[in-house]
Chain A
Amino acid sequence: MSRILKPVCARNVEYVHQVVARYFIDEHEFRIVEYNLGNAFTGNIDILAADTVSLFLVTINRADFAGALLRSLTGYRWFCENRDFLRRVYPPEDVNIDLPVELIILSEEFPPEIPSVLGEVCSVPLRLYRYRLFGQEEDPDIFVEEICSEGTVDHGPSRDLDALRKELAIEPAGLSDEDIRDFLKAMKV
């Protein structure tokens, strides 16, 4: 017997943010630094998260994708302009504000070809996730999948290796991407 889950539109925005945050914590081992950073006038970030090598500015689309994209980009600009302030607010032992930044946009719908379009125009790494809420409006379940067009939006691997070199302060050794990949592969059981 199959169970049919009907999409719902959760009214409580804060709750949706927390459900999305839980997804990133569980699935990607992100650490949530802050919710609702900045303001709507100068740019805001729904969730500021981090892992060991990157900071993530997460925007959750609640209306139209164009608005969410603009919000994400202005949020990024706000973040860059206020880095000094953020360094004072968040001590280095909590989060390293100087880590490389990635943008994340979650939306229920995306315009066609948007991954490849953004891949061509964005210099900042950007990830797109489709999400759906199911169940009850007051207590929804979430479904999330990453939308990725290979060679377009995903700047991941080489950027990750640059961040890794920086994190370990091993740039002077001149290890190439291939060196590092070979090493990591060799160390796997």
Chain B
Amino acid sequence: MTGFLAILRKNRDLFLSDPKGLFLTFLMPVVIASLAGAAFSGMGGGEEGGNGESEARKVPLLVVDEDATPASRKLVDRLAKAKGIEVQVPEGGLAAARDAIRLGKRPAALVIPKGTGEALERGLFAAAFSGRKPKLALLVDPSRQMETGMLRGVLFQEVMAAAAGDLFSAEGGRRMMRTSLEDVEKAGDLLTEEKAQLREAFGLGLQFMERLGDAAPRVRGEGAPGGGPAGAGGMPQPFEIAEEAVTAGGRSNPFQGYSNFAHAFAGMGVMFLLFGVLDGGLLLIRERARGTLARIVASPTPASALLLGEAVWLVGMGVLQLAVMLAVAHLPFFGVRVQGSWAGLALIAVATSAAGAGFGLAIAAFFRTEKAAQGAAILVILVMSALGGSWWPLFITPKPMQDMASWTITKWAVGGLEGALWRGWSLAEIAPSAGILAGMAALLGGIAWARFKFE
């Protein structure tokens, strides 16, 4: 035990003797994460980026049809046929949809509440002026702005088309014109002059529809009368989509806990943790080159204590590094909050550090020279960071890359940390990621133990 403690103390002394190492371990990750978070805060929201991505991969959209009327089903059918999205119906209804978004499995869910079908049937203009607009809810993962931005665009187009669709069938059009005339008469918030103008307009429309008989009108395109935002030129948008960010804050405070810095600090924290443990692995190689390893092995302290001491040290340093990162992220400027389980956060931090320690020790076991180890390990860390979502959100990468990401430490570590931070994951929800990381730690540590040459 004295020998084991001596190894820990020695590592502490070595660490503190190097101011450059202190900077790289604690300050550098904060600086990089701040820059990355700031850079990504301008990302998303732009529909162009989202649409560009949709060409490569369909964005999944959960649809919860609480209305279950022919009109609402028609809207779902329209969405299913829309380019760029893949409609999925969650088995567990709204609760399941919420969970899927909160756990980061799906970017968004559309909720079609009761009464939507009726509102749609009333028609575009009736809805616009009666105040009884179809009201849809869009639940979104606020970290996946590119995908949700794209979804907003598609939804607007399809719902608009659904709302206007009946207008352009002969019978539907006549019905809507009549209903609209009735609604104009009932509308209390319209000026007399406006009423007169609308009365004239809908009257002319009705005459036009009756002259057509059962023939459908000729329209440009399949459905929508223009894709631009409704309400332009004075007409209010004929439907509403209430957006809700699904985070730990829930409906009452939908954006509570989320910020782009949450991802940046989690991602960069994990990447720099890996660089930190790499330094620990390199220290073992350095020990061999210096001859201090031989001296340690020639002492009564068992060789296993050396590796165990190094592993415990690396885990401790990793946890400390993440703690410092998260403490800085907690500052008002960054606004990152722990919305999930604190125990889960501790668990994922320890599991991440353990997997990192296993990685560092395995590097030390595979390479005989510091230079070779450094070159190879830096490459592996950068690849893991790119694949596993340290630099950018995983969802923007192609499917094969997402599949490969499952083999990286970074994917499970960043995912688990984000879960504990803003997704509001419970301990049980974090445990699978932590378990996979613990498995990686055991595997890498086992390889290190089997391969490490103490001679």
State yes or no: do A and B come from one complex: no
Binding site for B on A (CB under 8 A): none
